[in-house]
Chain A
Amino acid sequence: MELTRRETLIIGAAALAVAAVPLRARAATVDDLIAEFTGGADVAEGGVELDAPEIAENGNTVPIEVGAEGASAIMVLAAGNPTPPVATFNFGPLSGASRAKTRIRLAGTQDVIAVAKLADGSFARTSKNVKVTIGGCGG
């Protein structure tokens, strides 16, 4: 099979994308991730709602809900996972309320952290300890 120039470019781009993944995975600690999200601004405690079960029997699918009045973005981190990032919600102009529910994986008992960018540009965080009896990240 002969490759056209276009196909070669696509393969090259795919290879680059694959190579970029481990770089991000290495970007490490929770503090670093929060600093990256806030751009180094101060983060106040409270002002963010984080709903998570106290005890999760199965860490493979833990229901959580995050919300913050007028927030434009909320980042969720799991401090005890092999890679702490969980998800970042960006709320657009047609978002009804800055809140969302999803299901996440937790490797073990740990703190789940939510950091919100509030309407006035300031940042707030909250965390909740979740006890996990069966871990959900494999390995």
Chain B
Amino acid sequence: MAKNVRPRVKVPKKAAAGEVITIKTLISHTMESGQRKDSDGNAIPRSIINRFVVDFNGENVLDVTLEPAISTNPYFEFEAVVPEAGEFKFTWHDDDGAVYEDVHAIELG
């Protein structure tokens, strides 16, 4: 189980209907690639987040497959359309089966 995993998401509080907004996300995670060796020369087992999904009111915005070549503390910046008031839902899937979630509401205005 990865330790101290903490998602951080930056979403504007308000947007006009149909506006395209920029979202930034970062989740603290060691993202152990499986390529590194410890001081005894044994390979450190892989432990990464392998999938990141963003939905808005149940409709998909972005779905990313992550491989070990994604840096520690995976960062994503992307754009999303806001057709109505609602909720962005961010989901990270860990190799160990853990799922981390974050939800951000956005209003029209």
Q: Residues on A close to B: CB < 8 A? A: 14, 17, 21, 25, 60-62, 78, 81-97, 99-107, 136-139
Number of A-B contacts (CB under 8 A): 114
User: Which residues of chain A come closer than 8 Å to B66, judged between CB atoms?
Assistant: 87
From residue 7 to 46 of chain B, which have CB atoms closer than 8 A to chain A?
Answer: 20-22, 33-37, 46
6 pairs of A and B residues whose beta carbons are closest in the complex: A92-B60, A96-B79, A138-B36, A96-B20, A101-B77, A103-B71
- Check B70–A95 contact: CB distance below 8 A: no
- Check B70–A102 contact: CB distance below 8 A: yes
Nearest A-chain residue to B76, judged by Cβ: A102
Main secondary structure on B side of the interface with A = strand
From residue 59 to 103 of chain B, which have CB atoms closer than 8 A to chain A?
Answer: 59-72, 74-81, 83, 97
Nearest A-chain residue to B65, judged by Cβ: A88
Known: A95-B61, A137-B69. A82 touches B35 (CB 8 A): yes
- Check A86–B46 contact: CB distance below 8 A: no
Known: A97-B20, A139-B36. A86 touches B67 (CB 8 A): yes
Q: Please, how many residues of chain B have a CB less than 8 angstroms from a CB on the other chain? A: 36
- Check B68–A83 contact: CB distance below 8 A: yes
Known: A86-B70, A138-B37. A100 touches B61 (CB 8 A): no
User: Which residues of chain A come closer than 8 Å to B55, judged between CB atoms?
Assistant: 92
Q: Residues on B close to A: CB < 8 A? A: 20-22, 33-37, 46, 54-56, 59-72, 74-81, 83, 97
Known: A82-B35, A92-B61, A138-B35. A105 touches B70 (CB 8 A): yes
Shortest Cβ distance from residue B35 to the other chain A in the assembled complex, whole angstroms: 5
CA distance A103 to B83 in the complex (A): 29
User: Which residues of chain A come closer than 8 Å to B71, judged between CB atoms?
Assistant: 60-62, 102-105, 136
* 18 residue pairs bridging A and B, Cβ less than 8 Å apart: A82-B35, A88-B65, A89-B64, A94-B56, A94-B59, A94-B81, A95-B80, A96-B20, A97-B79, A99-B78, A101-B76, A102-B76, A102-B77, A103-B71, A104-B70, A105-B33, A105-B68, A138-B37
CA distance A65 to B70 in the complex (A): 13
CA distance A92 to B59 in the complex (A): 8
Shortest Cβ distance from residue A70 to the other chain B in the assembled complex, whole angstroms: 13
